[in-house]
Amino acid sequence: MLFFIQMEWEKRIFVVVSLTVLLLVVFAFQVGVVSADESGRTTTIIVPYTEYEWWLISWSNNEVVCRIYADHEGLPTTEEVFRDCGNKLGKLWQITPPCKISNEESTPTIDCKGLYLYLASSQPQEKEVVVELPEPVVWVDLEGCAPTPPTNFCPEIPNLLLIGEEPLPNEEIVAIHGTYDGEPFVCPEQSCSLPLRATPLLGSVVEFWAESSYGDTSEKYTAHVRVIDTGVSTAPGGGGWYVDVISTQWVGDPLASCARIWKSFPPIGGSPDWLTTPEREELIASDEPYYYLAGRLISQGLIDVSGCTSGGLLPNGYADVCGLEKARPILDDWQNQFDQRIIEVAQESGIPAQLMKNLFAQESQFWPGVFRVRYEFGLGQVTDTGADSVLLWNTPFYEQFCPLVLVEETCDEGYLSLSDHEQAILRGAVALQAKTDCEECPTGIDLTQTSFSVSLFANMLMANCAQICQTIDNATGELAGDVSTYEDLWRFTVANYHAGPGCVSYAIHQTWLNVGLLNWEQVQEYFTEPCKGVIPYVEKITETE
């Protein structure tokens, strides 16, 4: 079973926003609906407020040249002054210097130049506010089976359960409509139990939407469903089925995947080890002889290397053989101390835990401090390009992160609408989330911040999933899941993370143009010479013992 789930901290924000919308809807119905917009789900309410009248006055003769009306305390904003007074007076007001009035009677006020603001009055008013009402939705689950991961096995073919939800008081879902492989169906209730059937390997498509008593419908959703016979008898007289569902509306148990983005099913019967998320941390534990990590531990004075010549270090900062031997007990503990956090983030985000563990091993050998490469930070070595990708291609992350750094109104139009300076500020803020160097810490590393940053790298991988999906669409005009396999799409994503979209996009376009297929074996042949280093990188991360 596959679906996309937000990070834990994202869920908290979602709950707050949902409660705010609900309270606003209840308020709207309590104060009374003035009118309803038939073209959309909106309503108009009357809101009391205080209106402040400001005068823009000339210093030279105390003439009121303009009146400005504001609905907030404090001085009018620049936009309000220009709105009510026009560009000419607004610009004159902007360049007016402070008027310094002496206590001496000989200094007349008339010497001051330009315009000044004066609060003339305030009075209670009412205004009409158009409120967007929440729309009906439909959720997806299975009835008759809770598939057992990682194979998603069901002893019998279940039903697809579609559950309508109407958020408006005094309204309800009156029907669920849809099509199953192009065949229409309708359920005259707020839920619909749709019998499934065996599907082709690429699955079947179910489209569905809800009809509300309000007089409108929800948006149209899709679920990609795959039901495959296991071909193995597990009990006398019966076999079983592998059942997978991909939908944004899925409410069942999550499994690690970018399948929703790609519309791609994992291999039948379960994913390879490097794309799994085990329940126990010892199942992703490693005991690799990381010379770079050992060198960093020695440099921080955490290892006793008194018996080693040259202090256990090579000139490049890596450990030598003696240094590695001395560091071995601490080395194993260090490279596995983040495993529980990796699994937690994997379960929340849908990014496979073993994939993240392998990626961290290749990028930093689990040393998150800056040493080997400047301006690359954290377990996954955030770069300026990587920060740009997560802000551009992971919209939920951008929408929640940007207002923490910039004014919310500035963020509203999206990352591409920001100025170069604002984008640079955001990228720097992302990098700081992964920066863990700490002079005051015993190990030289802020381990709490390192653990927290794991979710950032999961978001970055999710962004790369989305970028690969768009790259394939640009090259082929097809859905990623229709022209490539689930495993190869992950290989492209890992390559995109490490080498960047320039290398990967060129290789994908050339492969499709010349071969008409998109698999890793073919695509790697079209990496240009400067990009070929990504090939062993991907193979190391995706290798299965």
Please state, in angstroms and rounded to a whole number, the distance separating the CA atoms of residues 360 and 354: 10
Answer yes or no: is 324 within a domain.
Answer: yes
pLDDT above 90 (res 519): yes
Pick the more confident residue, 177 or 269: 177
Strand partners, 180: 183, 206
Q: How many domains does the chain have?
A: 3
One-letter amino acid for residue 300 of the chain? Q
Q: Do 383 and 408 fall into the same domain?
A: yes
Answer yes or no: is 273 within a domain.
Answer: no
Q: Do 381 and 417 fall into the same domain?
A: yes
Tens of pLDDT along 455-497?
A: 999 999 999 999 999 999 999 999 999 999 999 999 999 999 9
pLDDT above 70 (res 311): yes
Name the phi and psi angles at 143, rounded to 5.
Answer: -120, 125
Q: How far is CA 311 from CA 319, 328, 334, 335, 499, in A?
A: 9, 15, 20, 22, 35
Pick the more confident residue, 280 or 6: 280
Give the chain's mean pLDDT: 87
- The answer to whether 459 and 386 are in contact (CB under 8 A) is no
Please state, in angstroms and rounded to a whole number, the distance separating the CA atoms of residues 503 and 342: 28
Percentage of the chain with pLDDT > 90?
Answer: 70
Tens of pLDDT along 69-81?
A: 999 999 999 999 9
Range of 122's domain?
A: 46-96+113-131
Q: How confident is the model at residue 372 (pLDDT cuts 50, 70, 90)?
A: low
pLDDT above 70 (res 509): yes
**pLDDT computed for residue 9 by the predictor:** 35
Name the phi and psi angles at 177, rounded to 5.
Answer: -110, 160
The pair of three-digit structure tokens given for residue 180, joined into one six-digit string: 């199953």
Answer yes or no: is 22 within a domain.
Answer: no
Q: Tell me the CATH number at 330.
A: 1.10.530.10
Q: Which of 319, 301, 529, 64 is nearest to 310 (CA)?
A: 319
**pLDDT computed for residue 201 by the predictor:** 87
pLDDT above 90 (res 4): no
Please state, in angstroms and rounded to a whole number, the distance separating the CA atoms of residues 475 and 328: 47
The pair of three-digit structure tokens given for residue 138, joined into one six-digit string: 């439909």
Q: How confident is the model at residue 104 (pLDDT cuts 50, 70, 90)?
A: low
Q: Cβ atoms within 10 A of the Cβ of 7, count? A: 20
Q: Do 233 and 321 fall into the same domain?
A: no
Q: How confident is the model at residue 385 (pLDDT cuts 50, 70, 90)?
A: confident
Answer yes or no: is 275 within a domain.
Answer: no
- DSSP per residue, 83-122: HHHHHHHHHHHHTPPP----SSTTS-GGG--SEEEEEEEE
What average pLDDT score do residues 411-418 get?
93
- Tokens 């996954």: give the residue: 380
Q: Determine if residue 131 is left, alpha or beta; phi over 0 gives left, psi from -120 to 50 gives alpha, anything else beta.
A: beta
Rg value, the chain, Cα: 30
- The answer to whether 348 and 5 are in contact (CB under 8 A) is yes
Per-residue b/e over 435-464, b at no fewer than 16 CB within 10 Å? bbebeeeebbbbbebbbbbbbbbbbbbbbb
Helix (H, G, I), strand (E, B) or coil at 426: helix
Q: How far is CA 378 from CA 28, 383, 385, 493, in A?
A: 47, 10, 14, 19
**pLDDT computed for residue 30 by the predictor:** 44
Tens of pLDDT along 136-156?
A: 999 999 999 988 777 788 999
- Tokens 């004159």: give the residue: 92
Q: Do 480 and 356 fall into the same domain?
A: yes
- Report the half-sphere exposure of 169 (CA within 13 A, side-chain side): 12
Pick the more confident residue, 389 or 255: 389
Q: How confident is the model at residue 159 (pLDDT cuts 50, 70, 90)?
A: very high
Q: Do 496 and 368 fall into the same domain?
A: yes
**pLDDT computed for residue 350 by the predictor:** 87
pLDDT above 70 (res 109): no
pLDDT above 80 (res 256): no
Q: Do 246 and 285 fall into the same domain?
A: no
The DSSP call for residue 502 is H
Strand 115-132 relative to strand 42-58, pairing:
antiparallel
Please state, in angstroms and rounded to a whole number, the distance separating the CA atoms of residues 302 and 459: 32
Answer yes or no: is 276 within a domain.
Answer: no
**pLDDT computed for residue 28 by the predictor:** 45
The distance between the two most distant Cα atoms of the chain, rounded to a whole number of Å, is 111
Q: Do 290 and 186 fall into the same domain?
A: no
- The answer to whether 246 and 239 are in contact (CB under 8 A) is no
Q: Do 406 and 454 fall into the same domain?
A: yes
Answer yes or no: is 466 within a domain.
Answer: yes
Q: Do 405 and 478 fall into the same domain?
A: yes
**pLDDT computed for residue 254 by the predictor:** 63
What average pLDDT score do residues 510-517 get?
95
Q: Do 404 and 522 fall into the same domain?
A: yes
Q: Do 242 and 308 fall into the same domain?
A: no
Answer yes or no: is 121 within a domain.
Answer: yes
Q: How confident is the model at residue 370 (pLDDT cuts 50, 70, 90)?
A: confident
**pLDDT computed for residue 60 by the predictor:** 87
Pick the more confident residue, 452 or 15: 452
- Tokens 């983030």: give the residue: 345
**pLDDT computed for residue 176 by the predictor:** 97
Tens of pLDDT along 25-67?
A: 444 444 444 333 344 788 889 999 999 999 999 998 899 999 9
**pLDDT computed for residue 516 by the predictor:** 92
Q: Do 243 and 299 fall into the same domain?
A: no
The pair of three-digit structure tokens given for residue 453, joined into one six-digit string: 């940053």
Please state, in angstroms and rounded to a whole number, the distance separating the CA atoms of residues 320 and 301: 15
Contacts 24+ apart (CB under 8 A), 69-73: 71/125, 71/127
Please state, in angstroms and rounded to a whole number, the distance separating the CA atoms of residues 239 and 500: 45
pLDDT above 70 (res 320): yes
**pLDDT computed for residue 326 by the predictor:** 94
Please state, in angstroms and rounded to a whole number, the distance separating the CA atoms of residues 106 and 435: 62
Q: Tell me the CATH number at 156.
A: 2.60.40
Answer yes or no: is 201 within a domain.
Answer: yes
pLDDT above 60 (res 537): yes
**pLDDT computed for residue 342 by the predictor:** 96
